[in-house]
Chains A and B, each alone.
Chain A
Amino acid sequence: MDPSRKRKVRLVVALGAAVCLAAALAYTSFSASSEAASPSELVEGKSYDVTGKVVHDSISRQGDELRFRIRDRDGTESVPVVYTGVVPDPFREGREVIVSGELSRGTLVAERDSLVTKCPSKFTEDKQTS
């Protein structure tokens, strides 16, 4: 095989491999991802990463279980959450949290240790609100 042809073959093989890898990457990421939703969008029996704000005066603790409600970021509709596991330091009423779980009989049953508190975009206070 002459060298220029050999190079072309090499290039095609390399590009082909790159495309295959990229496709695999895209495929695995779509199948491994979980859907993000806000409390008002939840459907019974499906699992989600729910993003919302912790409702005021809704936090209570029973043994290892933490119970609270989260509501839409800009709305009032809320859903009760039952959570076990580690509670992040910045968890507070009114803070935005992300929790993964499944909606079962109107209650979001959260996966263990799935609670993430968004430091309400805050190393410093939000400029517009303060």
Chain B
Amino acid sequence: MAGVGSACLTVGLLTALYAVGASVYGAITGRRGWVASGRRAIYCLAALCVAAFAILESAFLRSDFSYALVAEGSSTDTPTFYKVTAVWATQDGSLLLWATVLSLFASAVLFLTRHSLRDIAPWATAVLGCVAAFFLLLMVGWENPFDTLAVPPPEGAGLNPLLRHPAMMIHPPMLYTGYVGFSIPFAFAIGALVTRRTGADWIRATRRFALIAWTFLGTGILLGALWSYSELGWGGYWAWDPVENASLMPWLVGTAFLHSIMVQEKRGMLKVWNVTLICATFTLALLGTFLVRSGILDSIHAFGASTIGVQMLVFIACVIALSVGLILARLPDLRSEARLDSLLSREAFFLLNNLVLVGLCLVVLWGTFFPLISEAITGTESSVGPPWFERIVTPLALVLVLLSGVGPVLAWRRVTASALFRLFAAPAAFTAVALVVLLAFTEAAKSVPSLLMFSFVAFVLAVVGQEFWRGTSARRLVTGEAWPQAFSRLFGRNRRRYGGYLVHAGIAVLFLGVAASSAFVDQRDVRLSPGDSIRVGDYDVTYVRATARLGGDDGGTGAPISLGAVLKVHRGDQAFTLHPSRNYYSTSDPSKGAISRFFEGEATSEVDVRWGLRRDLWLAVRPDLVSLEEPIARADREFADSPGRVQAFVISTLARLYRDNPPPAAFRAIVSPLVAWIWIGGAIAILGALIAAWPSPEARLRRVRSLYAARVGRELTRA
């Protein structure tokens, strides 16, 4: 089957190249047949990629170790759930996923636009074909996921234990889908530039794809943060790690793009800016893919120092050169159709929000590449840490949240003073009340940025609430519907607008969680023996006893040994227990003894969190194996050649030894206020984005009618 998979990729590469050639030839000569053929080649490419992906996935499920990739990244004792995900934990597999998602997205958009955008679509097909061909070339030439081993090993190396978390199942595909999704508007922007059709057509055709890409990328980032918080054992959700930053940058610029295209749709302005933004977004998405694979920046995320860094860099350089060259050549066609009438207008505020978002992106870009920049300038490699990022990003984030409350309710062109009063009097009053309550009843004043953020969040929520209330009551007045019905139908009438409000509310709530949990976190690192207590936040935490489990950890990750602790927690009259533990995975390192290899492989923290709307209590444990060192060393000598059954018994005895007589263990306890609202806010924002992206019935009707009209027209010309 590996041969079939390889063949799929090679044929796929040729198909993609054919799609490029056919659609460019068709576009230049005006032969529609060639264009249609190019488009169908992309459908064919999607089928080939899906087939290749299915072959690889089935190899993982069957644990067929004749595939080098399966032997590297999976094993027979890896749980099925993680066998499925192990495909994209490897470099080659993740490239295949990239290409597959790209070909599916490209097919979808080309299918939807097959009767419209006759000039732009062939060029977009060519661009998408080029991108797909590049990724297929990487696989065919350097990183073939279907490489086989002449002598299959009896057992695979297993999936890296750090990746054994449910969020990891969906986090990478989400990110890839986000990255890939932005290639669609990029391709159509390039098509629009080539054909000088720089109106809003290409935007209308791909707006929804940009929004979907944005949603996926945002969801991916959020899931990554959740994984970091609940798996990595350090207790944070964002570390300004290069690869985290790499995913944030296209998201920021993509957010700017989603806003500024509305200005072009409504007012015909910001054309240069829009094509620049989408080119930048796509370039940053490629950069994100590249950073994970290059190893040029220190990050915990990197794949192996890889063989394809140079190729990726060349491709990114080509994309940048092509975009810049094309935009410069088309500057005369990108002239604005209107001017900014007033600084108090929606377009002015959208422009401001764009500047802040792009500014944020530049800050993150600068900080991420600072080691390279400083080495180039001063000769010594230096790096900036999270405090630097936080200092610069905080004020920008504050401005952004405030703008997200003001911008969407302003009118286009200009706003009158009376309209301003009508729009913002109630929210401003609400914000003032919230501020007074915060100052009087909470400790929020201890951190000025947080206090500001809380007030701005209150403002945004008030503005959004007021809009919903006005919309609903107006609808009730007209239709006489009940409140809930009027409220839900409101979304149906104008999904983009009300979905957008919901996104803004969600992001505001998310920032509420970020501000509270970063400014008012209480963290303790202590060593406790059974019976000892500590106080963290309002919680009294007591280490009751140690635990030891073999072959069945709570998370279902397939860890052979899991050592942990039972802690009793009191807060007022509330009492509960938490069970953090640490999983030990065996290593196949031959220098380790037969028994010690089970203790000295990878180990991961299995954090236990008491989730709460007001605060989380987060506990991680790090058992001290000092007392076991001597018995393990003895067991290594005595049971080196014993049968597996005996060794298993020895290990269970050792684990029992730890459980019954535990030395002091290291604990990290964190009380993090309102951190749950990060996930809740994120979920609200995702919901809002889905509502905004969902096709409305009227639009579908319009599309059907226009398709019908087009068909009638075609038949008339034929007749």
Known: A29-B384, A32-B387, A33-B383. A123 touches B89 (CB 8 A): yes
* A34:B525 contact, CB within 8 angstroms: no
* A1 CB–B CB distance under 8 Å: no
B120 to chain A, nearest CB (A): 32
Contact of A28 among B91, B299, B300, B391 (CB under 8 A): B391
* B163 CB–A CB distance under 8 Å: yes
Residues of B within 8 A of A29 (CB): 366-367, 370, 384, 388
* A127 CB–B CB distance under 8 Å: yes
Known: A34-B382, A36-B381, A125-B157. A89 touches B162 (CB 8 A): yes
Residues of B within 8 A of A121 (CB): 295, 302-305
Interface residues of A in 60-74 (CB under 8 A from B): 61, 63-64
Nearest B-chain residue to A121, judged by Cβ: B302
B298 to chain A, nearest CB (A): 6
Chain B residues touching A, range: 35 or more
B244 to chain A, nearest CB (A): 14
**What 1/0 mask marks residues of chain A from 7 to 31 whose CB sits below 8 Å from any chain B CB?**
0000000000000010001101110
Residues of A within 8 A of B303 (CB): 121-124
**What 1/0 mask marks residues of chain B from 359 to 388 whose CB sits below 8 Å from any chain A CB?**
100110011001100100000111111011
* B384:A61 contact, CB within 8 angstroms: no
Contact of B298 among A28, A35, A113, A118 (CB under 8 A): A118
Q: How far, in angstroms, from A25 to B381 measured CA to CA in the complex?
A: 18
Known: A21-B359, A29-B366, A124-B89. A119 touches B162 (CB 8 A): yes
Known: A28-B388, A32-B388, A98-B298. A122 touches B160 (CB 8 A): yes
Q: Which of B233, B304, B381, B388 has the most CB of A within 10 A?
A: B304
* A2 CB–B CB distance under 8 Å: no
Known: A89-B162, A124-B91. A118 touches B306 (CB 8 A): no
Known: A49-B383, A123-B89. A61 touches B388 (CB 8 A): no
* B527 CB–A CB distance under 8 Å: yes
Q: How far, in angstroms, from A36 to B232 measured CA to CA in the complex?
A: 25
A66 to chain B, nearest CB (A): 10
Q: How far, in angstroms, from A99 to B41 measured CA to CA in the complex?
A: 52
Residues of A within 8 A of B163 (CB): 123
Q: Which of B163, B300, B363, B668 has the most CB of A within 10 A?
A: B300
Nearest A-chain residue to B157, judged by Cβ: A125
Contact of B604 among A36, A89, A118 (CB under 8 A): A89
* B527:A36 contact, CB within 8 angstroms: no
Contact of B371 among A36, A63, A64 (CB under 8 A): A36
* A43 CB–B CB distance under 8 Å: no
Nearest B-chain residue to A112, judged by Cβ: B525
**What 1/0 mask marks residues of chain A from 83 to 97 whose CB sits below 8 Å from any chain B CB?**
001111110100000
Contact of B306 among A30, A113, A127 (CB under 8 A): A127
* B234 CB–A CB distance under 8 Å: yes
Residues of B within 8 A of A34 (CB): 382-383, 385
27 contacts between A and B (CB under 8 A): A25-B363, A28-B388, A29-B367, A29-B370, A32-B387, A33-B370, A33-B382, A35-B381, A36-B381, A36-B383, A51-B298, A61-B626, A86-B525, A86-B668, A88-B234, A89-B232, A89-B233, A89-B602, A89-B603, A89-B604, A119-B302, A122-B160, A123-B89, A123-B160, A124-B160, A124-B304, A125-B157
B-side residues, CB < 8 A to A, are: 72-73, 89-91, 157, 160, 162-163, 232-234, 295, 298-307, 359, 362-363, 366-367, 370-371, 374, 380-385, 387-388, 391-392, 525, 527, 600, 602-605, 622, 624, 626, 666, 668
A-side residues, CB < 8 A to B, are: 21, 25-26, 28-30, 32-37, 49, 51, 61, 63-64, 85-90, 92, 98, 113, 116-119, 121-128
List 15 additional contacts besides A36-B382, A118-B300, A122-B303; criterion CB under 8 Å: A25-B392, A32-B388, A32-B391, A33-B383, A34-B382, A34-B385, A35-B381, A86-B666, A90-B602, A92-B600, A118-B298, A122-B160, A123-B89, A124-B160, A127-B306
